[in-house]
Amino acid sequence: MSDAVIVHRHESIVELRLNRPKAYNALDYDLLELFLSHLREPAFDEDVRGVVISGEGKAFCAGGDLRWSSDQPTSVPGALHKLAGCFHQCVLEIRRMPKPVIAAIDGVAAGGGFSLALACDFRVMSESAVLMQAYTSSGLSMDGSGTYALPRLVGLAKALEIAAFDEPISAQKALEWGLVTKTAPPGRALEEALLLAGQMAQKALHSFGWSKRLLTDSYHTPFEMQMELERKGIADCAAHPDGQEGVRAFLERRKPEFGRR
């Protein structure tokens, strides 16, 4: 079996580490298939309270593997179409994951790596790391939901500027623009991401799952339907053990203890 993705358990947190360091963790089809299979497991594992995505070596992820695409017996457009299809399934798993997904960005996150980071719920970026949109510099358009996430994070005008000029984005700029949740000292993005995941693990994850889906879907759900989904969500959360504990704690004026079975 391929070791292009390594799984580490940090108590209740699962780390999925992209492991093609010689290729700067570029995304070929084998890696994406393995990544997809590992992404599907935490959603239904009650012992998992969060997921951290990291990269082995000097990069988080350099994006889609254009060398792999060029070496395929089909055309490059056909290979990229196939690669994007699998990549998009990975993004869907991240966006539908009812638990927090955090990107730990050390080194470069470019192209598909940039889009992958943006697809996560939170991003912790090393102060020495760099984000690059990268697609347009290779004459390509963005995939991996990058065109969905980017304007929602920074606004349309800034997203167009990033797409047009493709300048490297430092950690300081990324934080100022709202592209990342927090920065970390060089080499400590994973450590800080795990700490953030640990903080989230103490929260009401059933509530988080509902909130994540409601907020994600709010961009294309009609107003009245959105409110009906909110109504369904709050009732479902109130029936869940976390909701019951939260209400009791509020009434008893104490800190809630979520995640108990």
SS (H, E, C) 85-114: HHHHHHHHHHHHCCCCEEEEECCEEECHHH
- Asked whether residue 82 is domain-assigned, the answer is yes
State the angle between helix axes of 112-119 and 76-96 in degrees (0 to 180), rounded to the nearest 10: 20
63 in the same domain as 105 = yes
User: pLDDT 10s per residue in the chain (261 long)?
Assistant: 479 999 999 999 999 999 999 999 999 999 999 999 999 999 999 999 999 999 999 999 999 888 887 777 788 888 888 999 999 999 999 999 999 999 999 999 999 999 999 999 999 999 999 999 999 999 999 999 999 999 999 999 999 999 999 999 999 999 999 999 999 999 999 999 999 999 999 999 999 999 999 999 999 999 999 999 999 999 999 999 999 999 999 999 999 999 865
- Domain assignment present for 109: yes
| Any domain includes 257 | no
* pTM exceeding 0.85: yes
One domain, residues 216 and 98? no
125 shares its domain with 210: no
On whether both 175 and 211 belong to a single domain, the answer is: no
Structure tokens at 58: 């000097």
Q: Which residue has the tokens 């953030």?
A: 196
Q: Which of 75, 85, 73 is nearest to 27 (CA)?
A: 85
What are the residues facing 131 on neighbouring strands? 109, 169
Phi, psi of 202 (to 5 degrees): -85, -5
Q: Domain residues for 128?
A: 5-201
Residue 31 CA: distances (Å) to CA of 42, 90, 128, 176? 18, 11, 26, 32
145 — alpha (psi -120 to 50), left (phi > 0) or beta?
left
